[in-house]
């Protein structure tokens, strides 16, 4: 009995080693003529990734691979308030300008992330912003930033993560400083201000935990749909839903029907859909990287096979491109100290099984 199991384990391990060797070999990578953006383009989709200005500027190999694989770039942090707003009166556009220029030079589309969020606010925010001046701060920030890059941004995450059913409100909205000072209208105000400042950009509502078949995710899907319906009923210029998709290889599974129904409901409102922050946490998986890579790739495949059946989807964006640079290193480290492997490229910028899975799903679903 036990030798049977051992043999099975060995065969499983051997297949993994073989696959991993083939997919990480330099010669294979060198022979490739198509990148993720090319597979996506064949299916009228955009593929891209989030990253920081500092990674692109100081790591030339990473920048080269980024431009090869991606058609769209998302500033992971450099467009957030805490990066742009040294004081209540001023803006520092140094890094944002660098990214806008990088995108132009390399023919990348650019997403703006994010105009209104309850996190990543500057230190001065809490003492400065109140019910009297919140609307002015919000509109000044949006007018200045969106106006500066008008015509250069593919889509803006206008409002990020405004839903939190656990906060206990009937409408499922998250209790944030913006909500406290301005009421639900802060969302409408943000979209209308952004639309006036850049009529060309696709204006997106972006949120997380919409994918799984759990009561929590179901509540978030319901609250998100209700919010989008309220906005559309008031002719608020929202153009798309961003589904973040920070997935976890050790968590609950998808229910294709429920997820597809949710997405169809969103599409029926006349909205586009973007997968905006896809990655797969490998924290709970056993150590050998070949096992982890296989499990992570499977989650990419399962998720994309469901969501890419919806024609309203226009883009798939991973939250990082290479395991060399991922927020999960710091936010979801492994207990065994091993490097986390949530993204399409490994630390050496070589494609993993997740890359192959993405390429296939982008092309054929």
Residues near ligand G3I, by CB under 6 A: 76-77, 80, 119-120, 160, 208, 244, 277, 327, 330
H or E element that contains 187: helix 185-197
Residue 20 or 114: the one with the smaller Cβ distance to ligand G3I is 114
What's the rounded Cα separation, in Å, for the pair 11 and 5?
A: 10
What's the rounded Cα separation, in Å, for the pair 231 and 191?
A: 10
Residue 289 or 318: the one with the smaller Cβ distance to ligand G3I is 318
- The structure tokens listed for 281 are 């946490």
By the 8 A CB rule, do 338 and 287 touch?
yes
Q: Catalytic one among 277, 286, 302, 305?
A: 277
List of residues 6+ apart from 351 with CB closer than 8 A: 23, 24, 29, 32, 344, 345
Residue 23 or 277: the one with the smaller Cβ distance to ligand G3I is 277
Distance of closest approach, residue 34 Cβ to ligand G3I, in angstroms? 28
Distance of closest approach, residue 50 Cβ to ligand G3I, in angstroms? 7
Q: Where are the strands (E) in 127-264, listed by range?
A: 155-160, 202-207, 240-243, 246-248
Distance of closest approach, residue 328 Cβ to ligand G3I, in angstroms? 8
Distance of closest approach, residue 157 Cβ to ligand G3I, in angstroms? 8
Residue 161 among the catalytic residues: yes
* Residue of minimal Cβ distance to ligand G3I: 327
Residue 290 or 315: the one with the smaller Cβ distance to ligand G3I is 315
Q: Catalytic one among 69, 76, 161, 164?
A: 161
What SS3 string covers 265-302?
A: HHHHCCCEEEEEEEEEECCCCCCCHHHHHHHHHHHHHH
Residue 95 or 334: the one with the smaller Cβ distance to ligand G3I is 95
Query: Are β-strands 240-243 and 202-207 bridged in parallel, bridged antiparallel, or unpaired?
Result: parallel
Residue 328 or 361: the one with the smaller Cβ distance to ligand G3I is 328
List of residues 6+ apart from 114 with CB closer than 8 A: 79, 80, 156, 157, 158, 159, 160, 206
Residue 16 or 172: the one with the smaller Cβ distance to ligand G3I is 172
Distance of closest approach, residue 326 Cβ to ligand G3I, in angstroms? 8
Distance of closest approach, residue 356 Cβ to ligand G3I, in angstroms? 25
Residue 276: closest CA among 255, 296, 246: 246
Q: Where are the strands (E) in 209-359, listed by range?
A: 240-243, 246-248, 272-281, 313-318
Give Cα 267 to chain centroid, integer Å. 19
Residue 277 among the catalytic residues: yes
List of residues 6+ apart from 154 with CB closer than 8 A: 46, 72, 109, 110, 111, 201, 202
Enumerate the β-bridge partners of residue 317: 48
The residue to which tokens 């944030």 are assigned: 176
SS3 content of the chain, % helix, strand, coil (to 5): 50, 15, 35
What's the rounded Cα separation, in Å, for the pair 181 and 58?
A: 41
SS3 60: helix
Residue 238 or 359: the one with the smaller Cβ distance to ligand G3I is 238
Distance of closest approach, residue 217 Cβ to ligand G3I, in angstroms? 15
Distance of closest approach, residue 156 Cβ to ligand G3I, in angstroms? 13
Active-site residues: which are they? 161, 277
């Amino acid at each position: 009995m036990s030798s049977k199991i051992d043999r099975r384990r060995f065969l499983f391990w051997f297949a993994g080693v073989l696959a991993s060797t083939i997919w990480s070999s330099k010669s294979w990578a060198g022979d490739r003529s198509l990148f993720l953006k090319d597979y996506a383009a064949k299916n009228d989709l955009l593929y891209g990734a989030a990253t920081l200005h500092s990674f692109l500027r100081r790591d030339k190999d990473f920048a080269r691979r980024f431009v090869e694989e991606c058609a769209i770039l998302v500033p992971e942090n450099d467009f957030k308030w805490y990066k742009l707003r040294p004081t209540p009166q001023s803006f520092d556009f140094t890094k944002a300008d660098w990214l806008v220029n990088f995108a132009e030079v390399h023919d990348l589309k650019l997403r703006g992330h994010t105009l209104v969020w309850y996190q990543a606010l500057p230190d001065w925010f809490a003492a400065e912003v109140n019910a009297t001046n919140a609307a002015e701060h919000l509109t000044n920030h949006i007018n200045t930033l969106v106006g500066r890059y008008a015509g250069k941004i593919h889509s803006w995450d206008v409002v990020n993560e405004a839903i939190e059913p656990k906060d206990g409100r009937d409408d499922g909205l998250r209790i944030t400083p913006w909500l406290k000072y301005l009421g639900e209208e802060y969302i409408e105000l943000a979209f209308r201000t952004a639309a006036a400042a850049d009529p060309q950009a696709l204006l997106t509502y972006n949120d997380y935990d919409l994918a799984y078949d759990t009561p929590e995710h179901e509540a978030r899907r319901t609250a998100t749909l209700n919010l989008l319906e309220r906005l559309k009923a008031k002719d608020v210029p929202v153009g798309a839903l961003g589904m973040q998709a920070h997935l976890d290889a050790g968590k609950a599974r998808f229910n294709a029907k429920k997820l597809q129904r949710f997405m169809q409901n969103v599409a029926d409102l006349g909205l586009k859909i973007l997968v905006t922050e896809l990655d797969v946490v490998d924290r709970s998986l056993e150590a050998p990287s070949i096992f982890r890579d296989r499990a992570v790739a499977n989650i990419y495949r399962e998720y994309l096979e469901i969501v890419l059946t919806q024609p309203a989807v226009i883009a798939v964006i991973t939250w990082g491109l290479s395991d060399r640079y991922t927020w999960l290193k710091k936010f979801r480290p492994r207990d065994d100290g091993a490097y986390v492997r949530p993204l399409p490229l490994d630390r050496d910028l070589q494609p993993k099984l997740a890359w192959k899975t993405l390429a296939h799903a982008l092309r054929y679903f």
